[in-house]
Amino acid sequence: MKQLFSGLKIEVNKNLYVKDPESSALGKKIVENSIILIDKIGFENFTFKKLGFEIGSNESSIYRYFENKHKLLLYLTSWYWTWKEYQLVFATSNIEDTEKVLETAINVLTRRIKRDNLTSHIDEIILNKVVVNEFSKSYLTKKVAKEYKESFFEIYNRLILRLKKMILAVNSDYPYAAALASTVLEGGLHQHFLREHFPSLTECNENLSPAQYFNNLVLSTLKHTKNGQKN
Nearer to DNA (CB atom), residue 57 or residue 225 = 57
CB of 138 to a second copy, least distance (A): 11
In the window 32-91, what residues touch a second copy (CB under 8 A)? 41-42, 44-45
213 lines the binding site for a second copy (CB under 8 A) = yes
CB of 18 to a second copy, least distance (A): 22
Q: Is the dihedral of CA 193, 147, 108, 35 positive or negative?
A: negative
- Cα angle at 175 between 172 and 176, to 5 degrees? 115
137, 77 Cβ separation under 8 angstroms: no
* Site of interaction with DNA (CB under 7 A): 19, 24-27, 45, 47-50, 56-61, 63-64, 67-70
203 lines the binding site for a second copy (CB under 8 A) = yes
58 binds, among a second copy, DNA, none (CB under 5 to 8 A by kind): DNA
86, 10 Cβ separation under 8 angstroms: yes
Residue 186, burial from CB neighbour count under 10 angstroms (0-12, 13-18, 19+): middle
Nearer to a second copy (CB atom), residue 118 or residue 130 = 130
Judged by CB under 8 A, the stretch of 4-12, 28-36, 61-69, 186-194 that binds a second copy is 186-194
Name the nearest CA neighbour of 38 among 86, 12, 85, 72.
Answer: 72
- 228 CB neighbour count, 10 Å cutoff: 10
Nearer to DNA (CB atom), residue 42 or residue 175 = 42
Q: Mind spelling out the 3-state secondary structure of 10-63?
A: CCCCHHHCCCCHHHCHHHHHHHHHHHHHHHHHCCCCCCHHHHHHHCCCCHHHHH
Footprint of a second copy (CB under 8 A) = 41-42, 44-45, 133-134, 136-137, 139-142, 144-145, 148, 153, 157, 160-161, 175-183, 186-187, 190-191, 193-194, 197-198, 200-204, 210, 213, 215-217, 219-221, 223-225, 230-231
